[in-house]
Amino acid sequence: MSNRPVEHYVAPVDPADSNEVDRVKLGDRKSNLWIDAWRDLRRRPLFYISVAIVLVVSTAALFPNLFTDVPPNNNCLLANSNGGPEAGHPLGFTLQGCDVYSRMVFGASTSLSVGIFVVMITAVIGIPMGALAAYYGGWIDSLLSRVGDIFFAIPYFLAAVVVMSVLSQHRNVFVIALAIGGFAWASLARILRAEVLQVKNLEYVMASEAVGRSKFSTLLRHVLPNSLTPVIVYLTIALGAAITAEATLSFLGIGLPPSTMSWGNDIAQAQTSIRVAPMALFWPSLALTVTVLAFIMLGELIRDALDPKARANR
């Protein structure tokens, strides 16, 4: 057996190559979750379409006089009952002789207000319930989760029907929003609880507690802000669902009172004359469908943009 040393051959190293490897590219663009999401969204035409629809509906809800100068109820003449389009009245008239276009514009405020109030109530109840249950754990998690399970087992629309039937003498925008949002928060609490359970074990959360910051302060300062991504997506989609729920309750006659202008009430009132004047039913239905679709589509786009796996698969 030979004792000759084994020769090793090493490729020559070029110092320039190592410098290239170690060099930090300071000119690269900064990136984080939200910046990456925006770069993805701005390349998608559906994002601009949905945002444009939401902006138009929001503007109509806030400033209806920018879209029409015809009062929605003051110029109702039975002589115009179920009349077709004419100068100054592009969408025709309702059964009572009111301008369909004017009622559709002014009704946007009511329908959108209900959706916003429902989202606010859902967030105010669901976010604390989900965050506290996941972060503190133990008996707090058990108690809050069981309460959430009770509300989750009750279909929120069925609960809203019961509440609005009981409070039939006090029907208004806030009551119907409370009837819907008061039972719809359980899904949001579950979503946020699952997200907080992942975030609370990350290094920066443990570092915050290690330096002496209280658990509640850490929850507000670090855990909750980094857990809101699915919440934003859910609330965007929930706003469209709440508008649909209000329209359905009004259509069934247990939502807003008939004197309140909303797309649901206009659809309910137009159904009796659908054979002779179908367009009076078509236009508020179209406004409702397009608005709800815009919110749902926007929520879906935001969800895909905030999901790195979804971006990688495209």
CA 147/CA 170 separation, integer angstroms? 27
Residue 259 has pLDDT above 60, yes or no: yes
* ∠ CA 206-207-212, rounded to 5°: 100
Q: Which of 252, 244, 234 is nearest to 289 (CA)?
A: 244
Per-residue pLDDT band for 220 (boundaries 50, 70, 90) equals confident
Q: Say if residues 123 and 235 touch (Cβ distance below 8 Å).
A: yes
Give 292-302 pLDDT, tens digit per residue: 999 999 988 88
93 φ, ψ (degrees, to nearest 5): -130, 160
**pLDDT computed for residue 12 by the predictor:** 61
More confident call, 183 vs 14: 183
Give 4-47 pLDDT, tens digit per residue: 655 655 556 555 555 554 554 544 556 666 777 788 888 889 99
Q: Is the overall model pTM greater than 0.75, yes or no?
A: yes
**pLDDT computed for residue 26 by the predictor:** 47
Give 113-145 pLDDT, tens digit per residue: 999 999 999 999 999 999 999 989 889 999 999
Residue 99 has pLDDT above 80, yes or no: yes
How many Cβ atoms from other residues are within 10 Å of residue 295's Cβ? 25
Question: What type of residue sits at position 64?
Answer: P
**pLDDT computed for residue 5 by the predictor:** 58
Give 58-67 pLDDT, tens digit per residue: 999 999 989 9
CA 226/CA 229 separation, integer angstroms? 7
Residue 165 has pLDDT above 60, yes or no: yes
